[in-house]
Chain A
Amino acid sequence: MIRIEGRDKVTGRATYAAEYPVKRLAYCYPVQAEIAHGRVAGIDTTTALAMPGVLTVLSCMEPPELSPEADPELALFQRREVAYRGQFVAAVVADSYDNARAAAGAVRVAYEPASHDVRLRADHPGLYKPEKVNPDLPTDTEKGQVAAGLAAAEVTVEATYTTPATHNNPMEPHATVALWSGAGDLTLFDASQGVTYARNIVAQALGLRPERVRVVSRHVGGGFGSKGTPRPNAVLAALAARAAGRPVKVALTRHQMYDVTGYRTPTIQRIRLGADAEGRITALEHEVAEQSSTLVEFAEQTASPTRIMYATPSLRTAHRLVRLDVATPSWMRAPGECPGMFALESAMDELAVAAGLDPVELRVRNDPDAEPASGLPFSSRNLVACLREGARRFGWQDRDPAPGARRDGRRLVGTGVASSTYPARRLPSQASASIENGGYVVRIAAADIGTGARTALTRIAATALDVDPDLVRIELGDSDLPHASLAGGSMGTASWGTAVTLACQDLLRDGKHGFADTTEILRTLPNLARHAFGAQFAEVRVDADTGEVRISRMLGVFAAGHIVDATLARSQFIGGMIMGIGMALMEQTVTDLEFGGFTNRDLAQYHVPVNADIERIDAVWLDEEDDELNPMGAKGIGEIGIVGTAAAVANAVYHATGRRIRDLPITPAKLLL
């Protein structure tokens, strides 16, 4: 389907958070910590307060009232301790953005710096075992004896893979406009991936009952996870508006986004793999070291995909975390699966080489009957079909496995494959449906972050109602609407679609009005392993003289249940794969070891791929029927595209050059030395 709000977006009529026309709007600009660790000794606001248009200054010297329950990243100005460079320590409210910014520059902050530690190391003495990893998974799992499995193996691979910190770069920067009513109710126009959740978290931070807060995000220009939780801009806008007694806007700059809107943790991953002479895996171990801040324990579930991928009698996964003087990592497209599968799927390629087996065949041979770590049956699993279909379309059968064997002029050509996977989950949501003015209106506090959720839900509602999609209107992006889960974890369409379908069915029964709440239904689901699977094939050309890597072909084949809308799905798959190519070849935020924070904090220095990097890219999918999912039979598709891509590219680079790069991104620097 053509995107419903497409015309509004390209004509500039779609209103984003920072654009809401609000009367008497004031502007707030944060002052950020210039040390990585220590304490604010004092803040001199005299000059700033005397500057033109300045209304007030907020700072940790006079902590504004917030609930003690506030998430530590949102508990602005409550403590004088600095947890990371870039943390907000004060903020200026003024009558214009420029005045606020100028005055923020005149706020003098004196620090008592303490020594800092911002470097993740595999042997960091601070590494510990968190209680659980995101979203609520066991930290470690163990089945059988890895040592015995390795001892029995004919071939083994032991290698360490590392991924750097990376940042989401949605086109729309984070922004919030906050308005308090006379009665003390708060409205936020916010760039959010989930208004119900944002409302609850902001209310918690401010010590308000959730009903007193309304969050509106009708259009969101991308998030990828960075807008999944309310960021400091949301609470700052609320505090500033309360202090100034008028509406306030906080619009983050791209630099500030790098500091306070989360990033993917760097990871150090050790894999040990063993297989018998036929390539059947006898042991698989995946150990991860990663970081979080001193404020919040954020434990990325990096080894979680290893628990579901391949059959093996002995399997161990483990996560260790170290708390550094850094900002809290957060969600970035396919958290866990994405970095974890880079390691596992690179190691599988190494195993294929060591065992002299075709990498597609190796994966097929180790396809499990049940989920390896848990023993649960799969609701559906079509990884093998994806691999086979991809191999057929990509022309894999003619591949000479010898590395460095094919050339195109001065460029070395190689192909690589990797599997991908992503869980198919749902969260409780509500929706209402009614007949109004001869059409159907469906209401749900869902989010369209640029994925086309509005369009997909229109289609789902039209299907449930058996009417033309033109007769259906979806209202979303407002926490006053029936509560919904957030756009994250590839759960949106499945979670909201279930509520929308049920609400529409209820409307058909009632004739006037329908409502659904999926909380109960989700509680009583049969215990099954529900995941989408896919296979990525990449062909790279590596310049033999310069180490430049370009993607000449990339193909993704996915099995993700029923695809609700082909046009939208293709964009999600391809977009995910392009982001994965970025991860493989260029994306990295460089930690500033001396000063803390990151050194490259804009789009001139943090590179994401452009058209010229990729010649051909395509995504296809298999028809997959799965009755154990939801009324649509759909698995999420927002994230699986990125999973596996980096490994497919790295494996292709190995095939092209004979060089195994285990440390992302694969830059000319690494290939030349």
Chain B
Amino acid sequence: MKAFGYARAADPADAVARFRPGTMYLGGGTNLVDLMRLGVAEPEALVDVSRLPLSGIEPEGDGLRVGAAVRNSDLATHPLVRERYPMLARAVLAGASGQVRNMATVAGNLLQRTRCPYFQDVSKPCNKRRPGSGCPAIAGDHANLAVLGHSPACVATHPSDLAVALVALEARVHVTGPGGTRVVPMPGLHRLPGDEPQRDTVLEPGELVTAVTLPAPPPGASLYRKVRERASFAFALVSIAAVLDVAPGGTVAGCRIALGGVAHVPWRAERAERVLRGAPAGEEAFLRAAEAELEGAEPLPRNAYKVPLARNLIVRTLLELTP
């Protein structure tokens, strides 16, 4: 690991003031420190933001305000989260392990980097790590990479479970940076790779995440489900966060679907949602919705399984949510 400077920021303004090119913010370090050990991240300096006074979870109207430094474990077990957003609690608990969740922060989780094996191996090319060097995953080991929204430059997936739930809940990410403060909606924080796969999100250099706010829980029932070949401590092959509200007449009044493990972003299944709105809740409509969404899928030779998997997962999860 390359030598680096370390400072603990006193407050968000201090953190931003300490930012220079080459500086990185340090949350729980469960992703960043690993990447530094691998030589993938080589910051000149770390500004530790894990102990900033950003670790509160407070009600905000019928919604919730979650500090950026809240640990994943605390988020998942908070009574208000469990009560209002059980899906979110389930998503967080489906991620990583108890030890990792005790360290990991909300901001760090959203901004964790892809698990593409080439990205993590500095002895090999990778457009995300070294722009312009190529994407060996396309012809190589992409069994767990993207089937939707990828580009010839990069087929990586975003690995977070939390982010998938937040996309379905339409969370808002509060950031402060050298250019002032702003609010980034989810979906919208993460970006598709296009020809700039080195940029995972729309954040600008030096922008610090300070909080995530959740609007009032959408009506209906919700569920998070994660598929993996090992039952615990494994990233998703495909995951789903779904909310379904069925009107008394049996038609879909509202619905939100987000998929994990399929794209460079936590994927909001808008096409499926459009098909469903006003449709009679049932297997036939759910299948039509899933297929509409996956029509745009472009699987690679070794990850074609993700298409039927995502389809089945959408249908089954919606069926389970149907009263």
Contacts and interface: CB of A to CB of B under 8 A. Distances in A.
Nearest to B124: A595
Contact of A605 (B117, B227, B231, B312): B117
A609 interface: yes
B304 A610 contact: no
Interface in B84-140: 115, 117-118, 121, 123-124, 136, 139-140
A44 B141 CA distance: 32
Contact of A667 (B1, B229, B235, B308): B229
A28 interface: no
A668 interface: yes
A169 B123 CA distance: 23
A595 B309 contact: no
A546 B1 contact: no
Contacts of A667: 229
How extensive is the interface on chain B, given as a class?
20 to 34
Nearest to B303: A669
Nearest to B142: A599
Given A105-B39, A668-B305, A410 B316 contact: yes
Given A546-B312, A595-B136, A605-B115, A669 B305 contact: yes
Contact of B309 (A585, A590, A609, A668): A668
Contacts of A262: none
B221 interface: no
Contact of A607 (B2, B227, B234): B234
B231 A599 contact: no
Interface in A541-593: 543, 545-550, 585-586, 590, 592-593
How extensive is the interface on chain A, given as a class?
35 or more
Contacts of B117: 590, 599-600, 605
B78 interface: no
Contact of A585 (B121, B139, B229): B229
B227 A546 contact: yes
Given A605-B115, A668-B305, A592 B141 contact: yes
A599 B308 contact: no
A613 B231 contact: yes
Contacts of A665: 229
B237 interface: yes
B143 A612 contact: no
Interface in A646-673: 665, 667-670, 672-673
B313 interface: yes
B136 A673 contact: no
A545 B1 CA distance: 43
Interface in B281-304: 303-304
Interface in A410-432: 410
Contacts of A520: none
Interface of A: 34, 98, 101-102, 105, 410, 543, 545-550, 585-586, 590, 592-595, 599-600, 604-605, 607, 609-613, 665, 667-670, 672-673
24 contacts: A102-B3, A410-B316, A543-B227, A545-B312, A545-B315, A546-B313, A585-B230, A586-B230, A593-B140, A600-B141, A604-B115, A607-B234, A610-B230, A610-B231, A610-B232, A612-B232, A613-B230, A613-B232, A667-B229, A668-B227, A668-B305, A669-B303, A673-B305, A673-B308
